[in-house]
Structure 1
Amino acid sequence: MNTQRMSRSWLMLALGTGGQTASTTALYGLAYLIPAFREDLGVSLAGAGVLVACPIVGILLGLIGWGVVADRYGERLALGAGLPAAAAAMAGAAFTDGIRTLGVLLVLAGAFGSSVNSASGRLVIGWFPPDRRGVAMGVRQASQPLGTALAAAALPPLAQHGGPAAAFGLCAVLCGVTGAATALFAVDPPRPDRPKGARTPAPYRDGSGHLWRLHGVAAVLCVPQFVVTGFALLFLTEARGWSAAAAGAVLAAVNLAGAAVRLLAGWWSDAAGSRIRPMRWLAAATAVDLVLLAAGAAWDSPAGTAALLLASALTVSTNGLHNTAVAEYAGPDWAGRALGVHGMGQHAAIVLVPPLAGALIADRGHPPAFALAAVCAVLAVVLLPAADRAPRTAWTTAPGGGARSPAGAAVSRASRAGSAADASTARR
């Protein structure tokens, strides 16, 4: 990869990461405004929870549509249109007085902001060669804990002094600035040359079920992730007697460590030439740690606390890997839609896991919830495909750069023979 292409690749990564960070702050950070919603808007706790869920509902509605836009018209258009529109919806939320109108605007913000989930990943994949995509997507995925940390640090003080409107205003500014930067500076990665009107067969119809299995793995792994992240503070304060301040500080540090673990997982996958193998090992390690956590919680052992802190990092370690695997296999013509479908399964879990796990913990305590999370991690190991597979349509070579995944460069070196057979079948 020459210097000019490397600079452009890192600029695209910075734009994708910045957009994802802004989107995470605006769409996933509203839980930090629950006290302000109750005090300033006069809603019940349940009503505040509905407002927090509104952007997630919008994301579910918009993911596949923005994937189609990214696949057909490019990542720059998807991000440059979606983020400013999300900013406009957030600005409207800052000036509305009605609760129902606020809910609608938050749903719209989620629907527009979901362009980042579908398009920024394929922007990164398209500009990095196979041996650097894992690290690049690890950086992009690190934007999620960074965005959450930004929301935790900035939104409550703003809401305390200026009400929810001030917090919505910051979210609007973040989405607007990153959207404008993308519209100005983003460059769509090159696409394969093909005859006009030619269509690439959907990767879902290849008979292998490869993408569906990756989607299932990602959704299943959301269960341990959100059981741990959603209830770690409660466990440390109620079951272990920690102060809220001490628990919050430790968990904040662990979340930052989780961002570093994503980068290490990406580096591992690049070095191994495989996304599947590291995912399998990390999911297995997560399952073992969660078993220790469940046992430590049941017998009130200090090992349970240590296992919880380790789980906070392990449960997020595979996020970049399965997103990379999906985009690589779907190919440049289908990556946006595939990432949209991929995100829908995960967001369905995001909506369902916290209330169901909360009900289980309230009724049976923490150990059964942690044990169920361990079972889901084991299920992920079972669901994972046996090996990486070559895409039916290879990502092309960027101008002046290194090779881009010609006939299986994105797959494991150990599985190249099987991947070549897959490609031959696709040509027939």
Structure 2
Amino acid sequence: MNEERIPRSWLMLALGTAGQTASTTALYGMPYLVPAMQRELGLSLVTAGVLVSCPIAGILLGLIGWGVVTDRYGERLALSAGLLGAAAALAGAATGPGVRGLGALLVLTGAMGSSVNSASGRLVIGWFPRERRGVAMGVRQASQPLGTALAAAALPPVAVHAGLSAAFGLCAALCAAAGLTVAVCAVDPARPEPPAGTRPPSPYRGAYLARLHAVAAVQCVPQFVVTGFALLFLTEVRGWSAAGAGTVLAVANFAGAGVRLLAGWWSDRVGSRITPIRVLATVTAVDLALLAAGAGWSGPAGTAALLLASGLTVSTNGLHNTAVAEYAGPHWAGRALGTHGMGQHAAIVLVPPLFAGLIDGYGYGPVFALTSLFPVLSVLLLPAGDRPGPHAQDVPDAQAPHEPAAADGASAAGRPS
């Protein structure tokens, strides 16, 4: 990468990270509003869990479509349109539309906000060469625990002091600010053109991408069990206040962001995405087993394992996203990342209501024990090692911006899908 392009590449990384952080706060911050939903709307834990799943269901509806939009029209358009649409849906949720109306608006929020999953990853991959993508995607993926940390720190006290509507309004403001900033400042990376009269080959010939999709989907289950029920475990079982638990979980999620950065750096140093995934998944399984053993004790062991799990369960996200985008190549990355995200969200859409029912029936210990099996399964599903895709390669000018016409979107529509 030319040195004069480094500042712009890091600006694009900052924009993608900011967009992912804002959308994460809204899409994955709903578990931190469960106490407020129960208090203001009179919902049971299972019904509140259904509302928590609504943005995830919306993400499932939107991911593939946004991947196509990203591949055809560019990252800037997909990111800004999706974030602004999510902001509008959240503003509607803040008006107090009732339980069914709230559920519908949260589904719409997920469908619009899912643009970030495909577009921000492609934006980062397009601006960084392979030897720096692990760290760059680690920064971008760190936005998910950062967004979760922001939700944990801000949403419970806002809901307590100003109500559920104010919490939705805060999420809407974050998405709107990120969407407007992307619309003004983002520049799509260039892509090599295929030879005239040819189409880029599909990366789905063979099982490599499918196995990566399956690994990511399986690993999302423990991530969302921990994210979804950590606050309730600390308040119901450990007797913490909601504000205190939210603050501690915010710190744990900041630590999780650091773990993602270290994982990306590690993958760049060893030249592999698969090896770090295998090691981190194994460590996660051990920690979740310790959490299951300590959940029924009054001592600090279970709490410490839970806080450690907040970081470990998200540690591999940047690695498998990078592996997918690199294997898919510049013409398929948007759709491949969309499919990748769709598989993850298909796996987790039932986690809040299903695991809420299991916790109600059996308690936290057995549920955490069950959760520890998912990282083990992901290790079994992993490919043997990293593999180059059919047309995934480092192109020297792939990180260069389009000519000025593309900066305002004029030439983005002319690119082949």
| TM-score class normalised by the smaller sequence | 0.7 to 0.9
Instruction: State the match for 2:404 in structure 1.
Output: none
Task: Describe the SS at the equivalent of 1:187.
Answer: coil
CA deviation after TM superposition for structure 1 residue 215, in Å: 0.8
CA deviation after TM superposition for structure 1 residue 73, in Å: 1.5
Distance 1:399 1:131 in 2: 15
Instruction: State the match for 1:125 in structure 2.
Output: 125
Task: Describe the SS at the equivalent of 2:94.
Answer: helix
Instruction: State the match for 2:71 in structure 1.
Output: 71
Structure 2 unpaired stretches of 5+:
401-417
- CA gap 1:330/1:365 in 2 versus in 1, 3 angstroms: same
Structure 1 unpaired stretches of 5+:
403-428
Query: Which among 270, 274, 278 is matched to residue 272 of structure 2?
Result: 274
Distance 1:301 1:170 in 2: 36
1:62 has 2:44 as partner: no
Q: Which moved more, 1:294-303 or 1:371-380?
A: 294-303
1:364 has 2:362 as partner: yes
Check conservation: 1:2, 1:400, Cα contact below 8 A: no
Distance 1:50 1:96 in 2: 17
| 1:317 maps to amino acid | S
Instruction: State the match for 1:214 in structure 2.
Output: 212
Instruction: State the match for 2:260 in structure 1.
Output: 262
CA deviation after TM superposition for structure 1 residue 310, in Å: 2.6
Check conservation: 2:129, 2:394, Cα contact below 8 A: no
Q: Which moved more, 1:54-63 or 1:84-93?
A: 84-93
Task: Describe the SS at the equivalent of 2:102.
Answer: helix
CA deviation after TM superposition for structure 1 residue 340, in Å: 1.1
| 1:191 maps to amino acid | R
Check conservation: 2:325, 2:333, Cα contact below 8 A: yes
- CA gap 1:236/1:174 in 2 versus in 1, 3 angstroms: closer
CA deviation after TM superposition for structure 1 residue 296, in Å: 4.0
Instruction: State the match for 1:253 in structure 2.
Output: 251
CA deviation after TM superposition for structure 1 residue 169, in Å: 2.7
Instruction: State the match for 2:116 in structure 1.
Output: 116
Distance 2:313 2:202 in 1: 31
CA deviation after TM superposition for structure 1 residue 308, in Å: 3.2
Distance 1:159 1:36 in 2: 6
Task: Describe the SS at the equivalent of 1:393.
Answer: coil
Normalised by the length of structure 2, the TM-score is 0.86
1:380 has 2:373 as partner: no
Distance 1:155 1:234 in 2: 14
- CA gap 1:396/1:273 in 2 versus in 1, 3 angstroms: closer
Task: Describe the SS at the equivalent of 1:190.
Answer: coil
Q: How does 1:146-165 map to 2 (within 5 A)?
A: 146-160=146-160, 162-165=162-165
Distance 2:65 2:247 in 1: 39
Instruction: State the match for 2:9 in structure 1.
Output: 9
Instruction: State the match for 1:182 in structure 2.
Output: 182
CA deviation after TM superposition for structure 1 residue 377, in Å: 1.3
Instruction: State the match for 1:291 in structure 2.
Output: 289
Which of the pair has the greater relative contact order for Cα pairs under 8 Å at 6+ separation?
2
CA deviation after TM superposition for structure 1 residue 248, in Å: 4.3
Distance 1:42 1:356 in 2: 20
Check conservation: 1:190, 1:398, Cα contact below 8 A: no
1:215-269 per-residue CA deviation (whole Å, 9 max, x = no partner) reads 1111111222233333344545555566666554433322211111111001000
Task: Describe the SS at the equivalent of 2:350.
Answer: helix
Check conservation: 2:45, 2:356, Cα contact below 8 A: no
What is the percent sequence identity of the aligned residues?
A: 73
Instruction: State the match for 2:314 in structure 1.
Output: 316
Task: Describe the SS at the equivalent of 2:143.
Answer: helix
Q: Which moved more, 1:249-258 or 1:9-18?
A: 249-258
Q: How does 1:36-115 map to 2 (within 5 A)?
A: 36-38=36-38, 40=40, 46-95=46-95, 97-115=97-115
Q: Which moved more, 1:76-85 or 1:127-136?
A: 76-85
Instruction: State the match for 2:346 in structure 1.
Output: 348
Check conservation: 1:127, 1:398, Cα contact below 8 A: no
Check conservation: 1:5, 1:400, Cα contact below 8 A: no
Instruction: State the match for 2:168 in structure 1.
Output: 168
Check conservation: 1:59, 1:113, Cα contact below 8 A: yes
Instruction: State the match for 1:28 in structure 2.
Output: 28
Normalised by the length of structure 1, the TM-score is 0.84
| 2:363 maps to amino acid | G
Instruction: State the match for 1:144 in structure 2.
Output: 144
Check conservation: 2:190, 2:399, Cα contact below 8 A: no
CA deviation after TM superposition for structure 1 residue 171, in Å: 2.3
| 1:130 maps to amino acid | R
Q: Which moved more, 1:319-328 or 1:351-360?
A: 351-360
Distance 1:211 1:119 in 2: 18
Instruction: State the match for 2:330 in structure 1.
Output: 332
Distance 1:149 1:183 in 2: 25
What is the root-mean-square deviation of aligned Cα atoms in Å? 2.7
